[in-house]
Amino acid sequence: MNLATVMDLKDTANVLKLLGDKTRLSMVSMLDEQECCVCEFVEIFNMSQPSISQHLRKMRDLGIVKEQRKGQWVVYSLNTSSEYYALVKELLKHVPSQREKFQWLEEKGLRIICN
Q: What is the DSSP string of 31-52?
A: HHHS-EEHHHHHHHHT--HHHH
Backbone conformation region of residue 63, classed left if phi is above 0, alpha if psi is from -120 to 50, else beta = left
Mean pLDDT value of segment 8-30? 95
Of the candidates 25, 2, 3, the one whose C-alpha atom is nearest the C-alpha of residue 84 is 3
Burial of 74 (0-12, 13-18, 19+ CB in 10 A): middle
- Looking at residue 101, the DSSP 8-state letter turns out to be H
Where in the chain are the domains? 9-108
CATH topology of domain 9-108: Arc Repressor Mutant, subunit A (1.10.10)
pTM: predicted TM-score of the whole model, two decimal places: 0.86
What confidence tens digit (pLDDT) does each residue in 38-80 have? 989 999 999 999 999 999 999 999 999 999 988 888 899 999 9
Dihedral sign computed on CA atoms, order 44, 47, 49, 52? negative
Mean pLDDT over the full length of the chain: 89
Whether the CB-CB separation of 32 and 101 falls below 8 Å is answered with no
